[in-house]
């Protein structure tokens, strides 16, 4: 069902991507390391570390999407995003999360 929805959305000339991707795993791996790396706790201020980490994740997500498609909207298919929606919205307040039932 999700593949069908992605294929329908991909008919829009502004939307690209749509296949199941490892993007969430990349971001989650970075988030895990940010939370558990001693160097994070010893470097800069907490606010500076958090801001730089969020910029790192956002830049990584943007670069990943730009490698997949040149279209205006990148569609990432992963069931896991629903669990990390608050984190996703911190990175990309404009992100949409659709859940199939």
Pick from 32, 73, 71: nearest CA to 53: 32
Beta carbons within 8 Å of 20's beta carbon, 6+ residues apart: 77, 78
Q: Is residue 43 part of a domain?
A: yes
Q: Is residue 8 part of a domain?
A: yes
Residue 20, CA distances (Å) to 48, 50, 55 in order: 33, 28, 24
What confidence category does residue 57 fall into, taking pLDDT thresholds of 50, 70 and 90? Answer: very high
pTM of the model: 0.85
pLDDT at 2: 79
Q: Is residue 99 part of a domain?
A: no
Total structural domains within the chain: 1
pLDDT at 71: 94
Indicate if the pLDDT at residue 65 is higher than 80.
yes
Q: Distance (Å, rounded) from C-alpha 101 to C-alpha 94?
A: 23
pLDDT at 63: 96
Q: Distance (Å, rounded) from C-alpha 63 to C-alpha 78?
A: 18
pLDDT at 39: 83
Range of the domain at 76: 2-91
């Amino acid at each position: 069902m999700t593949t069908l929805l992605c294929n329908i959305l991909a008919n829009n000339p502004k939307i690209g991507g749509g296949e199941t991707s490892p993007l969430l795993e990349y971001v989650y791996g970075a988030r895990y390391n940010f939370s558990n790396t001693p160097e994070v706790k010893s470097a800069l201020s907490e606010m500076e570390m958090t801001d730089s980490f969020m910029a790192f994740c956002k830049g990584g997500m943007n670069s990943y999407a730009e490698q997949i498609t040149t279209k205006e909207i990148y569609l990432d298919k992963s069931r896991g995003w629903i669990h990390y929606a608050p984190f996703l919205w911190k990175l990309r307040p404009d992100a949409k999360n659709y859940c199939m039932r």
